Amino acid sequence: MDKTTTGWLNGFLGVLIFSGSLPATRAAVMDFDPVFLTVARAAIAGVLAACLLVVFRQPKPTRTDLVSLAIVAFGVVLGFPLLTALALKHVTSAHSIVFVGLLPLATAVFGVLRGGEHPRPAFWLFSCLGSALVAGFALTQGFSASPVGDLLMLAAIIVCGLGYAEGASLSRRLGGWQVICWALVLSLPVMLGIGLFTTAPAIAMINRSAWAGLAYVSVFSMLIGFVFWYRGLALGGVAGVGQLQLLQPFFGLALAAALLQEPVSGAMLAVTGAIVLCVAGAKKFAK
């Protein structure tokens, strides 16, 4: 199997794992406080990441890599998990997954800003159209009833796109799985510090579904998914493999319906499909 094919396969596995993140987070925040959930998932993954780095005797990143690692940690270790956990206190995971359709575009935009590329005007046309579809869907679904949830999801997509793009660039120097491991280790002291000011819920009051959600987002969403994802980006290319995120909303909607019995309306599917087409068009005219 050649390097490109291996990259696409790893990227697909990463997207498949990430697709369960929002439904698992939704299940977890039913009993866990969003801040506690963010700290707990990052701390658990951070300890596992530190063990991996020690076992495989990975060299420490250079000082020039620390800034990029801090950006990755801010985007995917702290920002996206916390913002989505807060958002899911206000909206369902099925509703939030529609916003994930913008994630490939956010990643591409930050890739353009960081890489100095010059997309054609049609790229920005598709970009604005996709954003308008998301805003229109939020309005038709009762934006005034939960503006906080939708705004938090938009903020989550922005910081996650930044973390993805920065991590993809850094993975060429450090390696795919090493990037997320070092980002988790770098953020571990901060997470433990925040944990001192959060209150853990009583164990007896936590349902099995919440425990399962915490376990999934800690081990799979926070660590294993990124091992495949960043390796896929490094081997197959950011522009190509990054578009596999277009499949994530569909996988996520299916999981939300199957595991949480959340309603998935025809409008959700239609908007998600339209967003996928917009992002695909933007990708076509990105160069």
The amino acid present at 22, given as its one-letter code, is L
What is the separation, in whole angstroms, between the first and last Cα of the chain?
28
The CA distance from 206 to 78, in Å, is 23
> Nearest CA to 119 among 128, 131, 129, 109?
109
Rounded alpha-carbon distances, angstroms, from residue 85 to 31, 35, 58, 118, 223: 12, 8, 32, 35, 17
User: Cβ(247)–Cβ(280) under 8 Å?
Assistant: no
Q: What is the pLDDT along the chain (287 residues), one digit of tens a residue?
A: 778 789 889 988 999 999 899 889 989 999 999 999 999 999 999 999 999 999 999 999 998 899 999 999 999 999 999 999 999 888 887 778 778 878 888 887 887 787 666 778 888 888 888 888 887 777 676 655 578 888 999 999 999 999 998 998 898 888 888 999 999 999 999 998 888 888 778 787 899 999 999 999 999 999 999 999 988 877 877 766 777 887 887 787 777 777 777 777 788 888 888 888 888 887 777 66
Query: The pTM is what?
Result: 0.85
